[in-house]
Amino acid sequence: MILGIDIGATKTRVGFIERETLVKSKSIGTNKDPERFLRDLSDLIEEFLGGKIKELSGIGIGAPGPLDPSSGAFGELPNLPLWNGFSIKSRIENLYSVPAFLQNDANVATLGEALYGGGRGSKYVCYITISTGIGAGFVIDKRIVEGKNNLAGEIWALTVDNLGQSDILLNACSGPGIVRNSKRLIDNGEESSLSTLDRIETKDVFNHAFNGDKVSKKVIENAWENMAIAIEIILVTLDPDIVLLGGGLCFEEKYMVDPVRERVYKRVFLETHKNTPVKRSDLWNEAVIYGAIALAQQSNGKIA
């Protein structure tokens, strides 16, 4: 049995595939202390697998970067600062006496989509997550494209025009970035129905934009256009068979997927790129678990 682990900044889940169906656990909070997290994770795995724990042959892990897949250690995680240098791969291997494999969550999600989801049957697959963070992954012939420094797909760092300021894609398109942009315009004196709220959340900005609020519309259209630019760059440089969009902001297609796709097709010059599917992820919030399982299966030689 191969176990997949999806470590998020706030929640963690595990799962395995049985008769081509994903069996997943309940989620646990991702403790900011890595040692306490490891204890919580161990308790979850033992409760979840029970007697099946003896059947474990490998463990795949998808987690936020930066990280080093070879050493299995984390770099400086902005949301989990105490995890810097924590080698989760070796610790899990010591706990369960099976090989463990670690990879960036966007890369792992792309692998999951390529093998089990919307990219199944495609040679060149791109997946983009749009949520608290922004990231992309690329899979060619069922293999993750890592890059020299394991930084392939870090599109969050693309330089963009963010409402008149030179900025990065993360601050224009992520959930927190959208909220910050709204507050910035309001602080600059622009009138908005958002001003009546005690706390502005990402969904509020979308809803107020759809109801005609000018500040919200400006912020959301800025996010759509900048994400379309990022996808246009991917299309003309990598020419994938398909681009899949996932993450929290893609749950309802009207929020991000539909308007971004429309802008991508307006921007691209080559007719062939207008025919490249840009669609919502099939696996959505299960893509990382599927991909983590596939990562371990590949490394164990169970997937060619």
Residue 260 token pair:
């971004």
CA geometry: angle 273, 274, 276, nearest 5 deg: 60
Residues of the chain with CATH 3.30.420.40: 2-105+286-299, 118-282
Residue 260 to residues 90, 178, 235, Cα–Cα distance (Å): 41, 15, 14
Running along the chain, 304 residues long, what does each successive block of 10 average in pLDDT? 92 88 88 96 94 92 91 88 95 95 95 96 97 93 92 94 97 96 97 96 97 98 98 97 95 94 97 96 92 90 59
Residue 98 token pair:
């099976």
**What is the structure's pLDDT at 303?**
59
Residue 108: name the closest of 227, 286, 280 by CA: 286
* pTM exceeds 0.85 for this model: yes
Contacts of 124 (CB under 8 A, 6+ apart): 138, 139, 140, 238, 239, 240, 241, 242
64 cis-preceded (ω within 30 degrees of 0)? no
d(CA 62, CA 6): 5
**What is the structure's pLDDT at 19?**
77
d(CA 286, CA 215): 34
**What is the structure's pLDDT at 45?**
95
Q: Is residue 34 a contact partner of residue 86, using CB atoms and an 8 Å limit?
A: yes
Q: Tell me which fold the domain 2-105+286-299 belongs to.
A: Nucleotidyltransferase; domain 5 (3.30.420)
Q: Tell me which fold the domain 118-282 belongs to.
A: Nucleotidyltransferase; domain 5 (3.30.420)
